[in-house]
Amino acid sequence: MFALVDCNNFYASCERVFNPALEQRPVVVLSNNDGCIIARSEEAKALGIEMGTPEFKCREFLREHNVAIFSSNYALYGDMSARVMTTLGELAPSIEIYSIDESFLDLTGFGRFDLEEFGRMVGKKVRQYTGIPVSIGIGPTKTLAKVANRLAKKTAGYNGICLLDSHKTIREALERTPVSGVWGIGRRWSHRLEQRGITTALGFSQVPATWVRKEMHLTGAKVQAELQGQSCLPLEEVQPSKKSICTSRSFGRNVRERDELAEAVSTFAARGAEKLRKAGSLASTVTVFAGTSPFEEPLRQYWATRTLTLLEPSQDTILLTAAADRLLDELFRPGYTYRKAGVLYSGLLPAGGSGANLSLFSETQGTRDPRHEKLMQVMDNLNRTYGRGTVRLAGESMEAWKPVQEHRSPCYTTRWSDIIEVKG
């Protein structure tokens, strides 16, 4: 059996933990640049506020209904997530951290234990230790645990816990779940299924397997098997190392000049290199992309991507930033209003491992330099101690893409200066 523990309205709940005046009040959290609504408290959902609504389209409505608005504060959410996951890790033999607000627990060996009772205990402890409310779904496969979790959230009277442990309870649950609500069935697939008259998870579980395999490939076949109670997705306790690391942003304002765009790209390249070093990875390829807003009129739209393979895999900010700048040169077209850019590192290899090929032409410019390695260590240490951006390349700048954040809450758990009034 698997349990899926999911934090309720996670970002909104994080804001509430440190601001009890928000209890009972509708709360929304906005995406970067205060663009869209990405989290809503129950009260906000009850007002009919949809996920993903652009803030500017509902500004009046939010004011009228006294909705508390927050810019996203990932330092806070990340830290609160770690607290929740630590708590869960102490309550179950093994845990897979699936996302910032969800974990699967392995309940193998719980035998005749009352799983519902266990779930209630878990929910109570997490609430007590962190202040975050959670919902818990339990089932014989991960996908069924997801189904159960969804019902636990949506059904009044379940008290945030739903256990699927018999043929009958599973069948009823699948009947009550729309096919679009199944984990792994997104918008496209659910639309296609609905067109064929398949509207519920139960209906999908009964479609001939050959059809599913042909039309929805291996991925769809696994979802179906899991709904039928056959576990195909194991608990992944150790997170597989990342295959790519991406740093990208939409800009807080219009960017038209190459130099300005270059500042943004350099900043993303450097931030990405920092992530590489933290992960202990080397990048083999660098991709740069940039473009206009997708809401721009068609003739004024431009979107471009360029990739290069490095002579040697690297995690060196100086080298990677130079590579990103060259790629930007190739893709930049004057005359457009750029609204987004990013840098993607892929072909990641473990640093210090034997997997990295050395360049045949090691004197060539752009290969490994031990002095740079030392410099990167020093930069990382300084930036860790005194805050990001304390030491950086001259080409980096926050200006072009400085995010709009008009409603950010204090970093209650990670930044003293946010919560202590400095006198004198």
Partner DNA sequence: TCTGGGGTCCTAGGACCC
Footprint of DNA on this chain (CB under 7 A)? Answer: 31-33, 35-36, 38, 52, 54, 56, 98-102, 146, 182-190, 217-219, 240, 242-250, 254, 275, 285, 293, 295, 307, 309, 339-340, 342
CB of 56 or CB of 386, closer to DNA: 56
Nearer CB in complex with DNA: 221/375: 221
Least distance (Å) from DNA to the CB of residue 27? 17
Least Å from the CB of residue 117 to DNA: 26
Nearer to DNA, 262 or 344 (CB): 344
Which stretches does DSSP call E strand in 107-218? 134-139, 161-163
Buried b (16+ CB within 10 A) or exposed e, 46-62: ebebeeebebeebeeeb
Q: How far apart are CA 105 and CA 85, in angstroms?
A: 11
Which residue number, 25 or 242, has a Cβ lying nearer to DNA?
Answer: 242
Q: C-beta of 343: minimal distance to DNA in Å? A: 9
Judging by beta carbons within 10 Å of its beta carbon (0-12, 13-18, 19+), is residue 413 exposed, middle or buried? Answer: middle
Q: Which of 3, 347, 306 is nearest to 162 (CA)?
A: 3
Decide whether 109 or 294 has the Cβ nearer to DNA: 294
* Phi (first) and psi of residue 34, to 5 degrees: 55, 35
List of long-range contacts for 148-157, beta carbons under 8 Å, 24+ apart: 148/4, 148/173, 149/4, 149/6, 150/177, 150/181, 151/176, 151/177, 153/6, 153/8
Would you say 74 or 386 has its CB closer to DNA?
A: 74
Smallest distance from the beta carbon of 227 to DNA, in angstroms? Answer: 13
* Least separation in angstroms between CB 421 and DNA: 31
* Shortest Å, Cβ 284 to DNA: 9
